[in-house]
Amino acid sequence: MNRVDFTHNTEAVNAIAAHYDSPPMAFVHSYGCQQNVNDGEKIKGVLVDAGYGLCDKFEDADLILFNTCAVREHAEERVFGNVGALKQLKAKNPNLIIGICGCMTQQEGVVERLRKSYPFVDLVFGVNGIDTLPQLLAEKMGAGKRLLKTPTERYDVVEQMPIQRDSTFRAWLPIMYGCDNFCSYCIVPYVRGRERSRKSEDILHEFRQLISAGYKEITLLGQNVNSYGKGLEESLDFADLLEKLCQEEGDFHIRFMTSHPKDATKKLIDTIAKYPQICNHLHLPVQSGSNRVLKEMNRHYTVEQYLDLIDYAKQKVDGITFSSDIIIGFPGETEEEFEQTLELIQKVEYMQLFTFIYSKRNGTRAAEMPDPITRKEKTDRMGRLLKAQEEIASRLAKGMVGKTCRVLVEGHSRQEGTLTGRLNNNLVVEFKADPALIGSYADVIIEDARVTMLKGSLIK
């Protein structure tokens, strides 16, 4: 790992300014996970630092950037569809620059497809090129032709990046980049490169900036936060990092994702139990309830080990809730193995599940495995899983009725005059209140529960 500070490239910024008659506008859209959304906030930060204004409609933009996700085929096809729709815009405004970046562009085949079939795409760069964006734009403008970078891996961790955060009270704080786990179905280690942890002092610095700027909820991000610290000169693990952050003064709370079960420790759970600032919610993706499938997925834990950790957390952390990701129809998953997943969710009692039908990713190990299960069978399993989960979640949510909870008020709900607030355990409650409360804490009494949406009243 090589740590570098972001530098403002005056030459490139001047070249960009000279290219336009009036201050240019940029439209940036991020797909995919929170890490990517946080990258999108940095892209916007770098563009503002380079003289761009930001706009919400791509019709108003001089530069359109799609920051893409490659995790499932559907995500990629959506991007190709949305990029295709920009062709008309480019025909009307030949000065428009259309750029694609993020995880999709780390795959050679994707860059080739953009080169051949999307001639109106001007700029392509990978996940590690954000700090160099002004240079790339200046280079593209100077050359007057397309600039499509082929994927590279870069080991630098860039600090002090300018950032335009989407929220004024909830912030993403990456603690590590990349992934070394190579779960057999997953493209992320190929597109995000090797695992790199940020130094704790850099994390602490950003954390303090966020607290003093009034941020209330800080979500620590990493593909596997539990392997935080590997490769650093200092000796600390994820639980130690949490401990450090909890020493900071201020009215805030901490969430984190994602925890890989193979590296989640009892020490981590003890730390959650110790500090009220750490939310009592654990996103611990299990992926499958079958030991054979878990082995084929290269997950390195068994159902028994997973349940042991869940039981420990239930004992130690008052009112803890769990969520998980589940893959349906991994190659060769039998009906019995799927039923084991159903059994597992009954045992854990998740508050929330993110369920995905397996999507073949070229270059991964699972892409080579025979996959005889029909699509119909997979969607049928998905339906059964969702139904079972709905019953569990509504039972748990009903158990909240009558409780008084401190919530972070997040925004307007669909119903006129009503706001939403997030509980410590990650459930959301709707209640009537003054919108001036958005971004602050409020006490709410829970009065009703509909599946996972709670209804309540503000306590004056």
Binding mask 99-138 for ligand F3S (x = CB under 6 A): ----x-----------------------------------
Q: Is 174 helix (H, G, I), strand (E, B) or coil?
A: strand
If one asks whether residue 178 binds ligand F3S (CB under 6 A), the answer comes out as no
CB nearer to ligand SF4: pick between 135 and 355: 355
Return the residues of window 23-42 that contact ligand F3S according to CB under 6 A.
Answer: 32-33, 35-36
Gap between the Cα atoms of 179 and 360, Å rounded: 19
Give the nearest distance from C-beta 232 to ligand SAH in angstroms.
Answer: 20
If one asks whether residue 188 binds ligand F3S (CB under 6 A), the answer comes out as yes
Closest CA to 69 of 38, 105, 42: 105
**Using CA of residue 244, residue 247, residue 250, residue 255, what is the dihedral sign?**
positive
**Residue 182 binds which entry of ligand SF4, ligand F3S, ligand SAH, none, with Cβ cut-offs from 5 to 8 Å by kind?**
ligand SF4
**Residue 242 binds which entry of ligand SF4, ligand SAH, ligand F3S, none, with Cβ cut-offs from 5 to 8 Å by kind?**
none
CA–CA distances in Å: residue 346 to residues 91, 318, 340, 351, 448 = 55, 20, 10, 11, 23
Give the nearest distance from C-beta 139 to ligand SAH in angstroms.
Answer: 33
CA 439 to chain centre: 21
If one asks whether residue 51 binds ligand SF4 (CB under 6 A), the answer comes out as no
Q: Structure tokens of 198? A: 């940020």
If one asks whether residue 183 binds ligand SF4 (CB under 6 A), the answer comes out as yes
Give the nearest distance from C-beta 274 to ligand F3S in angstroms.
Answer: 30
Reported as type and span, the H/E element at residue 224 is none
CB nearer to ligand SAH: pick between 155 and 182: 182
**Residue 189 binds which entry of ligand F3S, ligand SF4, ligand SAH, none, with Cβ cut-offs from 5 to 8 Å by kind?**
ligand SF4
From the CB of residue 368, how many other CB atoms can be counted at a distance below 10 Å? Answer: 12
If one asks whether residue 191 binds ligand F3S (CB under 6 A), the answer comes out as yes
Q: Which residue has the tokens 């085949």?
A: 109
The residues that bridge with 431 in the sheet, in sequence order, are 419
Gap between the Cα atoms of 302 and 312, Å rounded: 16
If one asks whether residue 181 binds ligand SF4 (CB under 6 A), the answer comes out as yes
Single-letter code of the amino acid located at 220: L
Contacts with ligand SF4 by CB under 6 A lie at 179, 181-183, 186, 188-189, 223-224, 260
